């Protein structure tokens, strides 16, 4: 991974563990950012400037812990994307941002 946006399918990937900080939040150990539901992705999209070329995809995740910042993201120490999960990916620009939840257009 390390800067690449290519994710090998079917392989467990380990997050690079670094001590990081965002704005005025406390330092925390980095990890893969994940959301527990499509509705949480939709809430994040309200703040997202770039959606073209980005997707939401269900993943298998391990070593999950809360992210100590505002928002609904969690951090995963390891993730895996299967071929079946990748086939069901959703382009972020197709997610309808309703007031209460996200849905696919």
Q: How many CA atoms lie within 13 A of 84 on its CB side?
A: 1
What residue segments make up the domains of the chain, in order of their start? 13-100
Query: What would the pLDDT profile of 35-47 be if each residue is shown by its tens digit?
Result: 998 888 888 888 7
Residue 30: the pLDDT is: 92
Helix (H) and strand (E) counts in the chain: 2, 10
| Top-confidence residue, 4 or 79 | 79
Query: What would the pLDDT profile of 52-89 be if each residue is shown by its tens digit?
Result: 888 999 999 999 999 888 778 899 999 999 999 999 99
Predicted model pTM = 0.77
Q: Is-contact 53 93, C-beta < 8 A?
A: no
Residue 35: the pLDDT is: 92
Distance from C-alpha of 17 to C-alpha of 19, rounded to nearest angstrom: 7
3-class DSSP assignment, residue 102 = strand
């Amino acid at each position: 991974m390390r800067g690449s946006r290519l994710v090998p399918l079917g392989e467990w990937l380990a997050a690079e563990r670094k001590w990081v900080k965002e704005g005025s939040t406390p330092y925390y150990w980095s990890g893969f950012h994940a959301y527990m539901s499509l509705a949480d992705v939709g809430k994040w999209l309200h703040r997202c400037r770039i959606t073209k070329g980005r997707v939401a995809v269900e993943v298998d995740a391990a070593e999950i812990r809360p992210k100590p910042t505002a928002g609904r993201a969690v951090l995963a120490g390891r993730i895996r994307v299967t071929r079946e999960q990748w086939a069901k990916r959703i382009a972020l620009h197709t997610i309808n941002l309703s007031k209460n939840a996200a849905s696919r257009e």
